[in-house]
Amino acid sequence: MDPLHLRSAGTSLLLAFDSGEAEIVHWGAALGAALPDLALLTPPIPHSALDVPVVAGLLPQASSGWLGRPGLRGSRLAPAGTAAHDAGVPGFAFSPALRVVSAEATPDGRGARIVQADDDAGVRVASELTLHEGGLLEVSHELANTGATPYCLDELGTVLPVPGDAVELLDLTGRWCRENHPQRHRIAQGTWVRSGRHGRTGHDSSLLVAAGTSGFSNRTGRVWAAHFAWSGNHEQYLDSLADGRRILGAAELLGPGEVVLAPGEAYRTPTLYAAFSDRGLDGITEAFYEWFRARPSHVGTTSGRVRPVVLNTWEAVYFDHRLEPLLELAESAAELGVERFVLDDGWFRGRRDDHAGLGDWYVDEAMWPEGLTPLVERVTGLGMEFGLWVEPEMVNLDSDVARAHPDWIVRPTAASHKDGGRLPLEWRHQHILDLANPDAWQYIYERLDALLSENDIAYLKWDQNRDLAEHGHAGRPSVHEQTLAAYRLFDALRAAHPHVEIESCSSGGARVDLGILQRTDRVWASDCNDALERQTIQRWTQAVLPPELVGAHVGPTHSHTTGRVHDISFRAITALFGHFGMEWDIRQAAPAERETLRRAIRLYKRHRGLIHSGVRVNADLTESNLSLHGVVAHDGASGLFSAVALGTLATELPGRVGLPGLDPNRTYTVRAVLPTPEDADWKDTFIQTAPPAWLAEGATAPGRFLAEVGLPLPVLRPEHAILLEVTPESQSVSD
């Protein structure tokens, strides 16, 4: 069988079949059209080893000599008619020998469908690989039970090979209010595993796992990176064997007996998205962004659906839902230029705090005697969209629905009592509604459908505020079923209300993945609005997700989650590089803060077309407490950069910093646009006797000079930033 060669955007993926199974023999830099006889890749056979070369297949398996983590693990009961079968002994057909049945390329040459089977084991696996135009690789498998008895699936992994010069591994971790922080280490022999058992993606989940050459950085080095698009339990791993081979992979983490396939049934893996870059991590980001922005459902400048300025009421009023203050807040927001007003938690029956009400998705008549109509009509009358917070997957025991239907609550044990059996531990005073129960699913669908049908709602902030510990249905683990049921709920509501945008919030960033983003229009990266924390959270969330999908809000002067105090310019600049909004009682803003906020909103509206369509760039700086990042138009015509002092610098002066990504053959003017000398916090932003010469009037220079020589930065105070606007020479601008 001839090899298959997928090529796109400087990346090649080469599949060979000489061993009888599918094997990826190259994933990385483009190879060109001409290929040699791949027999030259046959490796030597060492002493004290198998007598044939070991194949690291598309699904690595022991039947081919692979001694690392297998791609498929599962088994079935003993054959019928045997004593072992009558005793229910499992573990038979445990080691498949999958061999290629068919392998076909798509007409465009960028995709392939490969079918492998083992008739004796009664399994067949169809694998689909697509190399998208921007170089992003998409891989998934579907396992069918072709045998006569049930097949218990333990794991079906999706793996990709990485070469020996990938010697460092970078992944992300975190916690509530500190999501997506990087960690890296040298790759050593053995299996490195990150397990996510939260029943959701998890605050500590790695949005990206990247293996790269020594010292790979934002702009340099070769990098192979992957993201696993699944919102439930999962594992991500790198398997480094004694023979020198390395496999990067991921799989759904299944509970005991969670997926048992009847004869003829099939299981499909979540998708693994991956990219190769010879330009560092920014090249990985570019591949993900191009894929996102090519989707028909994408929101942002490239789709013509601009991202409105948001005001969310949570840190402004919390549960204090009185009509008059909310009307005042709406009027204050509209005066600033806000375009979407979102009413957060507290509007439904019995919801005075977080102890009660979840599950009773009816407008609280005592709090809202005329329903939400007076607020909705005032908000829309002011020219803003109206949004609403919901948490459909959760339930408080102190709720009408929990009292009426205790069997709808997720429990680890089979129902053995009238009340449904033992409950798992509470989290934020709440439990999980069992969406695998058709009646519970239908109830939630009908209530949300009614809310959206009866009110002029353009946006849902969809929250999920707890882990799914001890998650079971009818006494068996069921995170898999719950995740798919949640996906169906999103899909059904989007089909019924296609005009409504949905945000994925999960105590902040605990459900941020491409599985949920197939069904939602943005994520809430973190419950932390502290601008200093947000600099890191947003940088690494946006390593995969374009900024138009990442909610970024100006929080209160005094951060509610960290206690830090930051000036308005730093908070606004941080929020500009995302889907900009506010979560703050802006009625309390000082006049100077309000004026700076108004200018920031104008800047966002002027530049959101660039921010939400351009190329993300992150400079490589030697000073760890100094950051420079930005976005550059694809044609190189303009750019927007933020220079940030994350802490005190090791040197007296920050030195000259290059602006990456600009067209080397254009001439640009660079201006500081926030803060400016007219702002009250201008002087407080810097620690210097005199600024660099260019800061007052701007600097004009060729793009090559700006990238290679750079500009001397002002001496920024710790936890301060300056916004730099880059335009073609002589172009006049105003905010």
540 Cβ contact list (under 8 Å, min separation 6): 172, 180, 181, 182, 207, 208
30 Cβ contact list (under 8 Å, min separation 6): 7, 10, 11, 12
* Contact in structure between 140 and 274 (CB atoms under 8 Å): no
* Contact in structure between 254 and 76 (CB atoms under 8 Å): no
- How far apart (Å, rounded) are the C-alpha atoms in residues 207 and 203? 10
Helix residue ranges per DSSP H, 64-140: 83-86
Q: ∠87-89-93 over CA atoms, to 5°?
A: 140
- How far apart (Å, rounded) are the C-alpha atoms in residues 539 and 557? 22
- How far apart (Å, rounded) are the C-alpha atoms in residues 335 and 329? 10
173 Cβ contact list (under 8 Å, min separation 6): 181, 183, 194, 204, 206
Matching residue, tokens 């698009």: 229
- The β-bridge partners of 522 are 503
* Contact in structure between 686 and 698 (CB atoms under 8 Å): no
Which of 118, 171, 527, 567 is flagged as catalytic?
527
The answer to whether 463 is a known catalytic residue is yes
Give the tokens for residue 47: 């002493």
Question: One-letter amino acid identity for 99?
Answer: R
Rg of the chain on CA atoms, in Å: 27
Which of 463, 467, 513, 530 is flagged as catalytic?
463
* Contact in structure between 707 and 663 (CB atoms under 8 Å): no
Q: Kind of pairing, strands 501-504 and 522-524?
A: parallel
The answer to whether 585 is a known catalytic residue is no
- How far apart (Å, rounded) are the C-alpha atoms in residues 566 and 511? 28
SS3 384: coil
Question: One-letter amino acid identity for 4?
Answer: L
* Contact in structure between 520 and 490 (CB atoms under 8 Å): yes
Enzyme catalytic residues? 463, 527
